[in-house]
A and B are shown apart, each in its own frame.
Chain A
Amino acid sequence: MGIFDKYRGIAARREVVRALGIDPFAVRLEQVLSPTRAVIDGRETILLGTNNYLGLTFEPACVEAACAASRRFGTGTTGSRIANGTYGLHRELEEAFARFLNRRACIVFTTGYQANLAMLAGLAGPRDILLVDADSHASIWDGCRLSGAKVIRFRHNDPEDLDRRLRRLAGEGECRLIVVEGLYSMRGDVAPLRDFIEVKKRHDAHLFVDEAHSFGVYGANGRGVAEAQGVEKDVDFIAGTFSKSLGAVGGFGASDDPDFDLLRYCARPYMFTASPSPATMASTRAALERIAADRGLLARLWRNARHLHAGLVDLGLGVCAPPSPVVAVRLPDERSAVWAWNRLLVAGVYVNLALPPGTPEGLCLLRCSVSAAHEPAEIDAALSRFAELARELRAAA
């Protein structure tokens, strides 16, 4: 038996998708012209699926900070902090995050994926119970698995289901950690944190919120959904990423717990990987400063999010959630989703094709993410392509 034989089902499915046009999982951005434009297949394309919420990837201060840090500290750190040393840049960035978040302590990680892995595998152990929202990201499930804890899945955004399960689990596990996301990246819906916090308090549990898609996007200061809902003090642990609103690659975790720093000595995805590069730390810090100084970014992001959402609703397309920087359009099946995605790309609009099992409840989605950097005319141009698509879908039906 060949070592890849177990993936024959995946290979067959890949061939079906490829036969319908461009391979959606191997899109090549030949040139990136701006946070909202790239050249794909020789064609200038509007980027509507990059998670570049604040459009900071080309921010001059961030680019210059990255270049200066590379010149001064080199291109890489060549090892883990625990074995090979911490740069001043690591500590300065952690302090900057802690200040921004109003948290006692912050730890930075090499990727957002590793932030969730490290936080969950570090916080929970084999004698603990993790209660995880059903729609959670793969990094959360993988972190749960790495922790060795008992993992219980509860219905998406359903505090009553969580409460029922915690009642059944009374007396079990040394610690119970509830795991949710702020903004869910597929459907674009938001967690009802206040209700989850009530349940948490009732059962003496802890609460972890992954603000990967909501940091820089929600709350008056961009601290996330917990800030927007006025519940930050009751959230015990938060995690996030540099790769969305901060325009880099990396992740962070933060808490007010006085023992939080212990994660540096027990979270394997922190201990056994190379630390973030000087360029990453410098550009991320510059991006943080930009977010703190310019509330206009948030305003432009939300203007564009509402613009796109309203336009898609007007076209009669099935939008999954109320307005947010993630606007997902539901298609009836995989074949039509792949076809529609191809039509948009050929027409010069890049969105994400999201298919099961990467989506909840078997949804087939055209997932759009909006940026503060989009000009209203770009949103209108994308909507006109969606209008053509909607006409074609109706005709096909």
Chain B
Amino acid sequence: MTAVPDEVELFSTIRALLSAHNSAGIEIRRDTDLAADLSIDSVAAMDLVMEIEERYDLDIPVNEISELRTVGDLVDLVRRQIEERRG
């Protein structure tokens, strides 16, 4: 069973996964906008989530992804999903 990572570890992992989308080399913070700042479109967002799913052995419903706007939203979603899976 996946342990719930702490906030710093989770943010750091997601920031590392986002580096492939950060060609401009901006500082990635919780309020970084996935679409406006990192040009992550709807399909790229689903691909990114798939990488996170593999990293944490999770299934994140697509239904939840369309609501994501910022890196912080993504971190919170992953945390919730890990907690739910852990029960």
* Residues of chain A at the chain B interface (Cβ within 8 Å): 9, 132, 134, 141, 144-145, 150-153, 155, 165, 168-169, 356-357, 359-362
Contact = CB atoms under 8 A, between A and B. Distances in A.
Contacts of B62: 132, 141, 144, 151-153
A9 B57 CA distance: 34
A141 B46 CA distance: 12
B16 to A, nearest CB: 19
A9 B36 contact: yes
B61 A151 contact: yes
Given A9-B35, A134-B50, A168-B59, 10 more contacts: A134-B46, A141-B62, A150-B61, A150-B63, A152-B61, A153-B50, A153-B62, A356-B43, A357-B41, A360-B43
B5 to A, nearest CB: 18
25 contacts: A134-B46, A134-B47, A134-B50, A144-B62, A150-B61, A151-B61, A151-B62, A151-B63, A152-B59, A153-B46, A153-B50, A153-B62, A168-B58, A168-B59, A168-B85, A169-B59, A356-B41, A356-B43, A356-B44, A357-B42, A357-B43, A357-B44, A359-B43, A360-B43, A361-B47
A196 to B, nearest CB: 17
How would you classify the secondary structure of chain A's contact residues: helix, strand, loop or mixed? Answer: mixed
Nearest to B40: A357
Contacts of A9: 35-36
B63 A145 contact: yes
A150 B81 CA distance: 14
Nearest to A172: B59
A169 B57 CA distance: 12
A9 B42 CA distance: 13
B56 to A, nearest CB: 11
B44 A362 contact: yes
Contact of B50 (A141, A145, A155, A169): A155
A126 to B, nearest CB: 10
Interface string B45-61: 01101100000011101
Contacts of B49: 153
B45 to A, nearest CB: 9
Contacts of B43: 356-357, 359-360, 362
B19 to A, nearest CB: 15
A382 to B, nearest CB: 29
Contacts of A153: 46, 49-50, 62
Interface in B10-68: 35-36, 41-44, 46-47, 49-50, 57-59, 61-63
Contacts of B58: 168
B61 to A, nearest CB: 5
A165 B57 CA distance: 9
